[in-house]
Structure 1
Amino acid sequence: MTKLQSLPRIAAALSLAFALAACGQGQQGAGAPPPPTVTVAKPTVRAVTDQDEYVGRFVAIDAVEVRARVSGYLDKIHFRDGQMVKQGDLLFTIDKRPFENTVAQQRANLAQAKANLAFAESDLERGKQLVRERTISEQVFQQRTQAFGSAQAAVAANEAAVKQAELDLEFTELRAPVDGRIGDRRVSPGNLVTGGTTGTTTMLGTIVSMDPIRFEFTMDEASYLRYERFSKMGKEVTGRAGGMIVGLKLLDEKNFDRRGAMDFVDNVIDKSSGTIRGRAVFSNPDGVLTPGMFGRIRVPGSPSYDALLLPDAAIGTEQIKKYVLVVDGENKAVMKYVTLGQLTDDNLRVIKDGIDANDRVVVNGLMRARPGQKVNPQEKGASPSAAAATGAESGTQAKN
């Protein structure tokens, strides 16, 4: 190939090289992308109280087994299984006829004893005159005195027998000793009921009080000591003085909206579990809270103190550590590891350690920023609304 023939190819190659160089210069002129825009806010400072949570069960303040005091055949049942009853309501009736006969018999015996007493009294009065006139001997007079005393004792014994018979007749009607909900009947009418005070008596039903109701739970020894230390310092938390307001939620409830008060802490620590029993009282006007039901209680775990709070969405996770991104004076994102506390009712997280009140924390745009990267910060208050605005973006962030 001659030199004249190769000239077009050389010219094409040079044109391609110039074009590539111009493209590279254009890319260099475009520069890096702008820093990401993030929302920053200083932590909210607020007085908070640490809360401890425990699982426990409801127990009735009064729980009564309805048993007969006298034996007999069950005559009638005066309630529906499971209904609410008031103190004094008639529940069961035992056949009264044998007991009515016994009352009539004892009253007759009492009348006879009173007649004997009247005769002995008049005989003794005559004896007093006769012994003064020496008509009867002292021995006869003493016999009449003894007869009068025996007649008095017989009247007293028969009066007691009448009262017992009337009491047994009264016991044929079994009434509710407390307000509450009664269970199902354990015996049907027509069956023989064994009464008395021994362990072989027939249980006819059970009644448990419903309003108010107690909630029992166990706390570990370390928590118990912490509560007691605060109490000794004059900072009552959940000590033995009672009256501290606590929150409660049931298994299907999200918030601790039910309010009650501590009223008891046990006097011994269980040797096998190292826990001690606590108790709170809750009102139960609608009867939803039932003895034996599980629940979760929240009790104050510290005195009130000033804490730093951030939206929960501002917190990221690195393996097992929690961190936040703080924007420094050069608008660079800096990672700071933090120690988390409780989540408040308005979805703010208590930060116990790792930041201070003047830090500008990224509360929106956490997924767009990287440690050491420059950002474009925009100020915004650290409030629950900020947390709500970041919910869609930070849904992948792990929560404590």
Structure 2
Amino acid sequence: MTKKSLALSLSPLAVVALLAACGQHPDGAGGPGGAGGPPPVSVAPATQRDIQEFDEFTARLEAPDTVDVRARVAGTIEAVRFKEGQLVRKGDPLFSIDARAFKADVARADAQIAALKTQVDLARAELARSEKLVSVNAVSPQEIDQQRAALRAAEANQKAAEAALVQARLNVEYANITAPVSGRTSRANVTPGNLVGVGDPVLTTLVSSDKVYAYFDASEATYLKYMRAAREGRVASPASLAVQMGLSNEEGFPHTGKLDFVDNRLDPATASIRARAVFDNKNGQFTPGLYARIKLGGAASYAGVVVPDRAITTDQTRKIVLVVGANNIVQPRPVTPGALIDGMRVVNGVKAGELVIVDGLLRAFPGAPVTPQVLKVDDKGMPVPAAPPGQPGAAPAPAPASAASK
């Protein structure tokens, strides 16, 4: 059988291997200088490092306390006692309602209590005299019963008047509307001279500012992953998880907080569960409603092998990397990809130190020889691009093809 008919009867992969064994190349290219050698590729060693997995989410910031300030008594707004948008402390005055009518109610209740107290004293004295006369049959038992009832009625009227006095004093207090929580005010929705009712309208809105909540939704798979880690003891509790946050105009995740709430059920419509992280906001840099990015630390760190993510390719339904083995022969290696960390993918199926092709994947064929150029890697295992030939720091020229490739 001629070489041409043999090549037509073989698969493309077998053709490549056959041509490589015969010293021929499918693209007609030679070695490093185009003189018939194996094609050049860039390789980097797989690196073992401590892996700390994490998940990223999008979140919205909310204030722990959001209060719509409303009037608790009806009246005319007398003064607005804050600047719109300013920070206030709990108990600081916000609005004043004309309290003259309420003060008049206090005076009226005081006078009514004094009158009723006199009636109680009189009823008590009459009952005491009648009880002395009943022993000599000067007063009938019926009159004694009536006087005792009159005393109890007078005492009840006095207590009702005292309750009315408490309510009148509360109305005077409610006329001075204060901040229910510490935080930042919104704009004043009413101005002096306007008549307001009980609870209507909203005078202003107050949001707390010392802390901020970041609410985010985690998928069902993520939730199950963390629940499994908790059962296996790799996560002590949700509160032990490190939470980092970055705003839309920030690089990375410069803010650190803690996870303080996970909902008790998943939303069946979205197959997700709501969680919340809390961050300190004493310097006021976070505003409720902002978009944020959340980075949630996973289980305890472990030793894992990482390769550049671009080195992973697909062979039908498998994920593989191309490893340069003995005699510079390309070996396809099935891998199970894991977390992506700083551009490096955690993989299972490659040993630390094995040379993985990172550049020139289209020139490498399983079972065929290549001319590898080993790249340096940084502290994270990421390959450092080789400097152009002739410049300081340039990588040495690739070694000649091994004897096995001839």
**Same fold, TM exceeding 0.5?**
yes
* Distance 1:376-1:301 versus aligned 2 partners, 3 A rule: closer
| Contact 2:375 2:385 (8 Å CA) reproduced | no
| Contact 2:40 2:370 (8 Å CA) reproduced | no
Q: How does 1:294-305 map to 2 (within 5 A)?
A: 294-305=291-302
| Contact 2:378 2:384 (8 Å CA) reproduced | no
| Contact 2:311 2:356 (8 Å CA) reproduced | no
| Contact 2:375 2:386 (8 Å CA) reproduced | no
How far apart in 2 are the matches of 1:160 and 1:153? 11
Indicate whether 1:131 and 2:127 are aligned: no
Instruction: Give the drift of 1:104.
Output: 0.5
Indicate whether 1:265 and 2:262 are aligned: yes
Amino-acid identity (%): 36
User: Which of 66, 84, 87 is the equivalent residue of 1:63?
Assistant: 66
Indicate whether 1:349 and 2:348 are aligned: no
Secondary structure at 2:326's aligned position in 1?
coil
Give deviations 1:180-238, integer Å, cap 9, x for gaps.
11111111111111116xxxx3211111122211111112222222222222222227x
User: Which of 355, 360, 367 is the equivalent residue of 2:355?
Assistant: 360
How far apart in 1 are the matches of 2:267 and 2:381? 46
Indicate whether 1:49 and 2:44 are aligned: no
Q: How does 1:49-198 map to 2 (within 5 A)?
A: 49-195=52-198
Question: 5+ unaligned residues in a row in structure 1: which ranges?
Answer: 1-29, 394-400
| Contact 1:311 1:384 (8 Å CA) reproduced | no
Instruction: Give the drift of 1:304.
Output: 2.9
User: Which of 231, 244, 261 is the equivalent residue of 1:247?
Assistant: 244
User: Which structure's CA Rg is the greater one?
Assistant: 1
Instruction: Give the drift of 1:289.
Output: 1.9
How many residues end up aligned between the 2 structures? Answer: 353
Instruction: Give the drift of 1:337.
Output: 6.8
| Contact 2:41 2:370 (8 Å CA) reproduced | no
Letter in 2 for 1:349: M
Letter in 2 for 1:136: V
- Hey, what does 2:29 align to over in structure 1? none
Letter in 1 for 2:84: D
Question: 5+ unaligned residues in a row in structure 2: which ranges?
Answer: 1-32, 390-406
Give deviations 1:150-207, integer Å, cap 9, x for gaps.
22112111111111111111111111111111111111111111116xxxx3211111
- Hey, what does 1:236 align to over in structure 2? 235
| Contact 1:331 1:377 (8 Å CA) reproduced | no
Secondary structure at 1:330's aligned position in 2?
helix
Secondary structure at 2:225's aligned position in 1?
helix
* Distance 1:150-1:392 versus aligned 2 partners, 3 A rule: farther
| Contact 1:245 1:262 (8 Å CA) reproduced | yes
How far apart in 1 are the matches of 2:162 and 2:42? 92
Instruction: Give the drift of 1:111.
Output: 0.7
* Distance 1:369-1:134 versus aligned 2 partners, 3 A rule: closer
Letter in 1 for 2:95: F
Give deviations 1:314-338, integer Å, cap 9, x for gaps.
7377899987664433345666676
Instruction: Give the drift of 1:122.
Output: 1.8
How far apart in 1 are the matches of 2:226 and 2:271? 16
Instruction: Give the drift of 1:383.
Output: 2.5
Q: How does 1:301-340 map to 2 (within 5 A)?
A: 301-310=298-307, 315=311, 326-331=323-328, 340=337
Q: Give the TM-score, by structure 1 length.
A: 0.77
How far apart in 2 are the matches of 1:179 and 1:51? 35
* Distance 1:384-1:233 versus aligned 2 partners, 3 A rule: closer
Instruction: Give the drift of 1:98.
Output: 0.6
User: Which of 262, 272, 278 is the equivalent residue of 1:275?
Assistant: 272
Aligned alpha-carbon RMSD (Å): 3.3
| Contact 2:106 2:168 (8 Å CA) reproduced | yes
How far apart in 1 are the matches of 2:48 and 2:224? 29
Letter in 2 for 1:168: N
* Distance 1:132-1:339 versus aligned 2 partners, 3 A rule: same
How far apart in 1 are the matches of 2:58 and 2:375? 41
Instruction: Give the drift of 1:375.
Output: 3.3
* Distance 1:278-1:391 versus aligned 2 partners, 3 A rule: farther
- Hey, what does 1:383 align to over in structure 2? 379
Q: Give the TM-score, by structure 2 length.
A: 0.76
Give deviations 1:277-327, integer Å, cap 9, x for gaps.
111111122222222222121223454322113456x73778999876644
Indicate whether 1:217 and 2:216 are aligned: yes
